[in-house]
Amino acid sequence: EDLGFNYLGPIDGHDMQQLLYVLRAAKFRSTGPTLIHVCTKKGHGYAPAENSADKYHGVSKFNVQTGQQSKAPANAPSYTSVFGKSLLEEAKLDTRVVGITAAMPSGTGINIMAKELPERVFDVGIAEQHAVTFAAGLAAGGMKPFCAIYSTFLQRAYDQIVHDVALQNLPVRFAIDRAGLVGADGATHAGVFDISYMSNIPNMTVMAASDEAELVHMVRTASEFDQGPIAFRYPRGNGTGVQLPQRGEVLEIGKGRIIQEGSDLVILSFGAHLNIVKDAEVALNQMGVSVTIADARFAKPLDVELVNQLMKNHPCMLTVEQGSMGGFGSIVLQHINKNRSKNKNLIFDSIFVADKFIDQADVSSMYEDA
């Protein structure tokens, strides 16, 4: 009120008669900016929602009587659970490993670690900026913080990533969940910008898991990496069903891998769509096109030796990513343009998410639209 606001409340937001009266009064009687203080309870009147602190704000099909949400049986664990279990294993072996979440413990898999090591997990609330700066402070103190945040929400903390982490070259580990298009959560939750906005920051290392086993390796790699900030991205949903290692291997920084070799076209993949690339290879092979498949693993630092080798040995190159323009494909193209002498006739193209916001749909339909 000292700032010139009209203040009304607090009022019961579940009392429709009172709420409508106050809203009408604010509309017709207020002479300046008005703050209406409305108190509500999440899930009011529906016990399963009232009793679940971090669920039921967005739901899929569910049983009204029990509150149980319908899910098809999974043939593989979710990427989120694989991350959570891998983080717990690293934390058991190294007391410096801590987990940080911004009000999304179950959504990010941090709750798996919290159940066994609650004193080393920090939920800072819906405050991604604080989560990142807090992680920077822990890293400066010799800890190994894993900051687990959805790709779309990490955007909120970009200033802190740049100034509090990267500028200081602090070894904060960014576990970027919900990378790529996410289906039912729609355009607001699409995690398509992180490759671009993380890769252009000095000192940052950026990885993407092609399957759940690779994610286990990247958690271990991030845990062992103390030279600066490092990020690894992975999608919503279940993995591919590959066998998981008991503990991940430490990947060589900036090194990709060749999955299979061909001669006509190389598909350089970055992210969790390797199985789709393999399906494309089968279709192309039936058309008489011999395809090399490579998994980049790193967008930054780019495996320039691998790219040079692929340039030299193939007439055509295609990059594939689950991210926006200005991402992995652009990084590869910049390198190619600086090294055209290795293959002046190379034909290059990129597949990335279209420069538009994709409407809500199932994931496969969203990628068709993209």
CA distance 356 to 77: 31
Contact 239, 274 (CB under 8 A): no
Nearest-angstrom CA–CA distance, 240 and 211: 6
Is there a catalytic annotation at residue 128? yes
Any bridge partners for residue 233, and if so which?
176, 208
Amino acid at site 81? S
CA distance 11 to 203: 50
**Are 206 and 176 contacting, i.e. CB atoms less than 8 angstroms apart?**
no
Distances (CA, A) of 276 to 9, 107, 176: 55, 26, 21
Question: 353 is written with which tokens?
Answer: 């998410």
DSSP summary character for residue 228: S
* Active-site choice (96, 156, 257, 278): 156
Please calculate the CA angle 161-156-104 and round it to the nearest 5 degrees: 100
Structure tokens at 149: 């945040």
Task: Please tell me which residue in 128, 214, 281, 321 is annotated as part of the active site.
Answer: 128
Residue 116 structure tokens: 């066994």
Contacts of 15 (CB under 8 A, 6+ apart): none
H helix intervals, 64-190: 79-93, 105-108, 110-116, 128-140, 151-154, 158-160
If DSSP codes are grouped into helix, strand and coil, which group holds residue 231? strand
Residue with tokens 């593989």: 76
> Can 156 be counted among the known catalytic residues?
yes
Residue 368 annotated to the active site = no
H-helix or E-strand containing 295? strand 291-295
State the catalytic residue, choosing from 24, 41, 42, 255.
Answer: 42
Q: Record the tokens describing residue 228, joined without a space.
A: 């600066």
Q: Which of 130, 120, 123 has its CA nearest to residue 102?
A: 123
- Contact between 232 and 299 (Cβ < 8 Å): no
Question: Catalytic positions, please?
Answer: 42, 128, 156
